Amino acid sequence: MKKRSALFVVIVHVLLLHAVYAQTHSFKDVPKRIILNLTASPESSMAVTWRTSEEFKASEVQYAVSTQWTDFKKSVTKVNVTTEKFAINDHQFVYHYSGVLNGLKPGTTYVYRVGHDSVWSEWNQFKTAGKDDAPFKFVYFGDPQNDIKEHVSRVFREAYKLAPDACFWLTAGDLAAYPTDDLWGELFDAAGFIYRVTPSVMVPGNHDRSVVMVDGKETRLKTTDPIWKAHFTLPENGIAGLEETSYYVDYQGVRFLMLNTNDKLQEQAEWMEKLLSKNPNKWTIVALHYPFYNTGSDHDTKAVRIALLPIIDKYNVDLVLQGHDHTYARTFKLRDGRVVPVDGKGTVYVVSVSGPKAYALNTKYKDLMAKIGDKISSFQVISVEANKLSFTTYTAAGAVYDSFELRK
Ligand SMILES: [Fe+2]
């Protein structure tokens, strides 16, 4: 009898301890939706964002220069984070954290983890950009948008298989059909660990805007939904009011202008003019959602063409990466709406779609197109060297669909 009551006391004790531990450590609330974003200084800093269900005031990022063994843990630097309480529906909140790792060494591999108290993510690795011009590659995706878990997962994963050494991923808007927590959850699940090890930059599309009901009708505002800033920590070096949605990044000899084509087009045109008139980089790439030469359905994104195309032409932007039309389209080198010689001054424009939604082809600009097609989920691997830019489009099945080179 004595033995049985002693055993009972032990069991109760263990259960109590377990309950207390669970309460104080919330061990199931591990950091989720962890993502790296490039900053405006990719050679010396990196941004990381994640979230938990409860608020943890002790949340931080820890990082160190990577080592071959686990001894990097002896020289860890801690970064305090900004916390945002975010409503995912009318009665439920989550907590998003963002931290920027500054003062990093160029061209160096770092390990990092995020978390709170004793609850941590795994250690992940990334590499900073070099401080000088040097060859690199990145991956560009058109709209994921629809059936993300079901269909975009394989596209992301194939891209990682074929270009695991991409320095970053660039997405040209319409990340999800609606800015809802469930659909954004699909996006992060589709990318899996890749968002934790390959930094991202992205611009918003029309589907990334806030949705409100006006007179019982679903209406999209011009503003990017708050879900964007909760999940990402992107540069704020663009014009006022479009922080983290319109910005630029110089990466090893390429100036990337990332535009928000939902709003303030004229202001962005003036901002582009300033940036391109004093551009020390050899190459210039523009990413935006609405295409200049439409190839999808009855789309005609005229306002973007009127506001921005003269600047693209004036400063001979090399490449424009776009979304929205849910087709594949790659122009010849163009200037002022006309095909120019391959070795002349001009711009190549590409539309692609990573998701499964397809529009019927609009052939209005077919004479400007070097390659055009529909029902092709794809991703693009772009390699930049001093005098050559190599562009390859792969289908979701991993086959080469299109390729070209630009030389200068
Ligand atoms: Fe769109």
pLDDT tens digit sequence for 307-319: 999 999 999 999 9
pLDDT > 90? residue 1: no
Distance 146 CA to ligand 1 centre (A): 11
Distance 266 CA to ligand 1 centre (A): 20
Residue showing tokens 């984070």: 81
d(Cα 317, Cα 249) in Å, to the nearest integer? 15
Q: What is the CATH number of domain 136-407?
A: 3.60.21.10
Residues in the chain: 408
- pLDDT tens digit sequence for 166-189: 999 999 999 999 999 999 999 999
- Is the separation of the CB atoms in 223 and 356 below 8 Å? no
Q: Which two tokens stand for residue 320?
A: 């424009």
Q: What's the first-to-final CA gap in the chain, in angstroms?
A: 90
- pLDDT tens digit sequence for 84-139: 999 999 899 999 999 999 999 999 999 999 999 989 999 999 999 999 999 999 99
* Two domains, one topology: 32-127 and 136-407: no
- pLDDT tens digit sequence for 369-382: 999 999 999 999 99
Percent of the chain with pLDDT over 90: 92
The architecture that CATH gives domain 32-127 is Sandwich (2.60)
Distance 322 CA to ligand 1 centre (A): 10
Task: Provide the residue ranges of all domains of the chain, joining segments of one domain with +.
Answer: 32-127, 136-407
Distance 325 CA to ligand 1 centre (A): 7
Distance 197 CA to ligand 1 centre (A): 27
Which amino acid, one-letter code, is at 20? Answer: V
Question: 85 by DSSP, 3-state: which?
Answer: strand
Distance 290 CA to ligand 1 centre (A): 7
Distance 114 CA to ligand 1 centre (A): 33
Residues at Cβ < 5 Å from ligand 1 ion: 174, 205-206, 324
Distance 291 CA to ligand 1 centre (A): 10
Distance 324 CA to ligand 1 centre (A): 4
Q: How are beta strands 209-214 and 217-224 bridged, if at all?
A: antiparallel
pLDDT > 60? residue 23: no
Distance 278 CA to ligand 1 centre (A): 31
- pLDDT tens digit sequence for 378-407: 999 999 999 999 999 999 999 999 999 999
Distance 172 CA to ligand 1 centre (A): 9
Lowest mean pLDDT among 26-35, 215-224, 365-374: 26-35
- Is the separation of the CB atoms in 208 and 261 below 8 Å? no
d(Cα 273, Cα 257) in Å, to the nearest integer? 11
pLDDT > 80? residue 15: no
Nearest residue to 271 via CA among 257, 256, 255, 251: 257
Query: For residue 130, is it left (φ>0), alpha (ψ between -120 and 50) or beta?
Result: beta
Q: pLDDT at position 11, please?
A: 58
d(Cα 237, Cα 263) in Å, to the nearest integer? 16
Distance 4 CA to ligand 1 centre (A): 68
Confidence of residue 26 (pLDDT cuts 50, 70, 90): very low
Q: pLDDT at position 289, please?
A: 98
Q: pLDDT at position 9, please?
A: 57
Average pLDDT, the chain: 94
Q: Which two tokens stand for residue 58?
A: 């002790």
Distance 91 CA to ligand 1 centre (A): 30
- pLDDT tens digit sequence for 283-330: 999 999 999 999 999 999 999 999 999 999 999 999 999 999 999 999
Q: How far is CA 138 from CA 16, 162, 164, 361, 381, in A?
A: 52, 11, 10, 27, 6
Distance 18 CA to ligand 1 centre (A): 49
**CA-CA-CA-CA torsion for 340, 345, 349, 350, nearest 10 degrees?**
100
pLDDT > 70? residue 6: no
**CA-CA-CA-CA torsion for 162, 318, 233, 307, nearest 10 degrees?**
-140
DSSP state of 385: -
Q: Where are the beta strands (DSSP E) in 338-395?
A: 338-339, 348-351, 369-373, 378-384, 388-395
